[in-house]
Amino acid sequence: MFGRIYALIVKEMLLLWKDRRMRFVILMPPLIQVLVFTFAATFEVRHVPLGVWNEDGTAASRELVRRFTDSNAFDFAGTIDNPQALRDWIDSQKASAVLHIDPRFSADLASNRPARVQLIIDGRRSNVALIVQNYAATIVATYNRETLAAGTLMADAGPQIEVRAWYNPNLDSQWYILPALNALVVMVMVMLINALSVARERELGTFDQLLVTPLRPFEILIGKVTPSLIIAAAEAFGILAVAVFAFGLPFRGSLPWFGISFVIFLLSAIGIGLAISSVAQTQQQAILGVFIFLAPAIILSGMATPIDNMPPWCQTLSLVNPVRYMIDLTRSLYLRDPTVPLILHQLWPMMVIGTVTLGFATLLFRRRLG
Amino acid sequence: MNRLLRPRRLLALLRKEFVQILRDPSAILIAFVMPVALLLLNGYGLSLDAKNVDFGVVIEAQTPRTMSLYRAFVDTPYLAARPYYTDSAAEAALLRREIKGYIVVRAETIRNLANALKPQPYLIVVDGVDANTARIVEGYAVGVLGGWYQREATSNSPSNLAPGVQLEHRYWFNPELRSTSFIVPGLIAVVMTLVGALLTAMIVAREWERGTMETLMASPASILEIMLSKLLSNFVLGMMAMAVSVILGLLLFQVPFSALFLISALALGLFISTIARNQFVAAQLTFITTYMPALMLSGLLFDIASMPHWVQDLTHIVAARYFVACLQTLFLAGDVSAILLPNALILFCFAVVFSLITLRRMNRNLEG
């Protein structure tokens, strides 16, 4: 029996490796995606073009403007002197934000009245707008504390807030996105391989040949699963090495648990791929099935936006998505050395998904035979 | 030219393509079921607005003032505040992942409130594993504290504190900063890239794999005609898919539409399919060149200007980037031709370039 399975594994391995293009597609895209998307996925906002409409023009207001333009968040885009220009600049995205200082600014400040300053922000990109608002608030708060406390005005010490971020002290976006990509990128590849493997054999008619060999459906399953599991697991460790050595991420969890988690996760992904493959009549249908699964699975994985933010029905739907658990797990393994109960808490749903889908695929193999 | 492009032959080929599409349920599935499902899921699922984030407030001493600060945290819709009485209790809750962060309000800090000259330190701790949420939570917490301070300052001792500079925010186009109104227009771009490229890539790759492409090429039809027929038939199908998405977008989220983007997506699909005759390669390439970049590099989720320069350069070859810019402007700002025209022009170039490359490659394939 083991000889038979071994022979099938060798055959499947050869299929994956003999084609130069296939080899390229298995190896390169995951690596390229990790490299590019890690750099792309930044939640920090820099170089926001800032227009300045300063109707006050005194030293106090120029100091405030200087604090805005000197910060990393804003780039000085130019000065504006009328409401029409303000509208044009924001409309054409020449400026994403405009700082408007009232003519009474310094007078108000001197007479201890609130000196109002407006920041008009382009709300089309709400993700940027929210962050820009926070930056601006910080700059104004610092300005208030430093210039007002030091000057002749009232000494307002105000709250001194110290912020500590555990596990990721600088709140580096790369530390957030790379562990997620590690799980996601490998899954995309492994699902495509598996969804296509049975469908292609069926389209070419070789699947019937496979079924009439002494191999039992269960053995066929093992033969199909093993090669892609080996390749994908190796790739997962490869990405881990890139993350730690090239991007300087910490790895605080344990390597054996990383391996175990990935094997279980990959088995559940392979299970879904094979289940799709055994239902599909043609390769095209199989690919379609994978895409229909993958596209929402990526959204509902918590990779880019947290699952907690989603409406309840989306959260419920995400429960059948193995990536959801794995991304949580890789993030924990990279950054916080999770306890075994915390790991198992994410592992068991993937085991259930894997068992169900792999069982389903085997059943379908058998039925085709009969 | 006449030999290259005869209307009669093109019409015949077009008919063949349409029959092929009509008889293949999977093309219909790609064109209609997929966009609807993706739009619904992504439209509701991709949300950057964090609300009701579990947050701890460590209260060392229960005085009226600390309770008023605690209520400020309870009252904000963005945080779901829970009281803790010691640092270690809150820390344990963070470790168990029950809360995303906590603020420590010391008894001494509250005693010092009356005297602005005495230090008033606060400590905010956030769970950095989800760096994005951590940053948002930090912002919320600082905001709540700042708001409370201002209220306290005006109600208790107006003469004691100088108001200083007060910043007001005005958001144009999207006053509530709902991220769905920002994301949904971009989403149509993402979904249509996938649909458009997938339609053509899969259909042509299948012809190669089954050997029917050679049959087509051996017919009197020219390469240009074959390509045009594939592009046009899928364009009609894609436009119908787009129409479905747009109707849905209008009903649920309100969104406009564009044809140029679809052409470039279709042309990209054709291009991929001529490189990759094998369906696995075609599928993998389609996914990697369309869906993921459209999601990550189009400015939909992450700000392009904040990326490193080489990644910014890369985003220029992502067609969805231009479409996202167009859609967001159309949707939220109305017709602003200064943004629409250049972006539309670039999309047009994409369509032309991809089509030309495809033509050349198909020619070479025939010779080889």
**Is A36–B284 a contact, with Cβ atoms under 8 angstroms apart?**
no
Mean pLDDT value of segment B40-47: 72
Q: Which domain holds residue B218?
A: 7-46+178-367
- Which chain A residue lies closest to B339 (C-alpha atoms)? A92
Q: What SS3 state is found at A309?
A: helix
Write down the domain spans for chain A. Answer: 2-41+171-369, 48-150
Contact at CB, A130 and B177, closer than 8 angstroms: yes
* Confidence at residue A315, expressed as pLDDT on a 0 to 100 scale: 86
pTM over 0.80: no
Nearest CA among A336, A335, A359, A346 for reference residue A265: A346
Average pLDDT, chain A: 83
Q: Which residues of A are less than 8 Å from B142 in CB distance? A: 137, 161, 163
**Distance in angstroms (rounded) separating the CA atoms of residues B293 and A33:** 9
Structure tokens at B267: 């042309």
Distance CA B82, CA B80 (A): 7
Which residues of A are less than 8 Å from B337 in CB distance?
none
- All residues at 6 or more sequence positions from B11 whose CB lies less than 8 Å from its CB, including other chains: none
Is B168 a member of any domain? no
Q: List the structure tokens of B223.
A: 């390469």
In this structure, of B53-57, B279-283, B325-329, the range with the lowest mean pLDDT score is B279-283
Q: Is the pLDDT of residue B183 over 80?
A: no
Q: What is the pLDDT of residue A61?
A: 86
A79: β partners: A52
| Residue B169 reports pLDDT greater than 70 | no
Q: Indicate the residue of B26, B172, B279 with minimum beta-carbon distance to A90.
A: B172
Please state which CATH number belongs to domain A48-150.
Answer: 3.40.1710.10
Q: Residue A370 class from Cβ within 10 Å (0-12 exposed, 13-18 middle, 19+ buried)?
A: exposed
Asked if the model's pLDDT at residue A174 lies above 60, the reply is yes
Domain shared by B240 and B350, yes or no: yes
Whether B211 and B354 map to the same domain: the answer is yes
Q: Is B171 part of any domain?
A: no
Query: In terms of domains, do B58 and B38 share one?
Result: no
**Interface ipTM above 0.95:** no
Q: Check CB contact under 8 Å for B129 and A130.
A: no
Distance CA B65, CA B62 (A): 8
Total number of domains in chain B: 2
Shared-domain flag, residues B210 and B121: no
Q: What is the pLDDT of residues A39-82, one digit of tens each?
A: 877 777 778 889 998 888 888 888 888 988 888 888 888 888 88
Give the integer Cα–Cα distance in Å for A63 and B9: 72
- Asked whether A210 and A59 are in contact (CB, 8 A), the reply is no
Q: What is the CATH number of the domain that holds B79?
A: 3.40.1710.10
User: Same domain, yes or no, for B120 and B65?
Assistant: yes
CA distance A70 to B101: 31
Q: Which residues of A touch B253 (CB under 8 A)?
A: none
Q: Is A13 exposed, middle or buried (0-12, 13-18, 19+ CB in 10 A)?
A: middle
Judged by a CB distance cut-off of 8 A, whether residue A2 touches chain B is no
A305/A277 Cα distance (integer angstroms)? 30
Partner residue opposite A21 with nearest CB, options B51, B118, B276: B276
Residue A116 DSSP SS3: strand
Among all residues of chain A, which has the CA nearest to that of B140?
Answer: A134
Nearest CA in chain B to A87: B172
Residues in chain A closer than 8 A to B110 (CB atoms): none
CA distances A349 to A135, A290, B17, Å, are 40, 20, 44
Is A27 at the interface with chain B, CB within 8 A? no
Interface probe with A: pick from B302, B315, B330, B332, most Cβ of A within 10 Å: B302
Cβ-based contacts of B279 with chain A (< 8 Å):
196, 200, 283-284, 287
Residues from chain A that touch B137, judged by Cβ atoms under 8 A, are none
CB atoms under 10 Å from CB of B197, counted, come to 32
- What whole-number distance in Å separates Cα of residue B225 and Cα of residue A159? 72
pLDDT tens digits along A216-253? 878 888 888 888 899 899 999 999 999 999 888 899 88
d(CA B38, CA A274): 22
State the SS3 of B166-207: EEEEEEECCCCCCHHHHHHHHHHHHHHHHHHHHHHHHHHHHH
CB-CB: which of B44, B171, B276 is closest to A121?
B171
Q: Residue B265 has which token pair?
A: 């997506």
Kindly identify which residue of chain B lies nearest to residue A146, measuring between CA atoms.
B164
Interval A20-26 mean pLDDT? 76
Which of residues 89 through 118 in chain A touch B, CB cutoff 8 A? 90-93, 109, 112-118
Q: State the average pLDDT over residues A360-365.
A: 82
pLDDT tens sequence across A87-123: 888 877 788 888 988 888 888 877 777 788 888 888 7
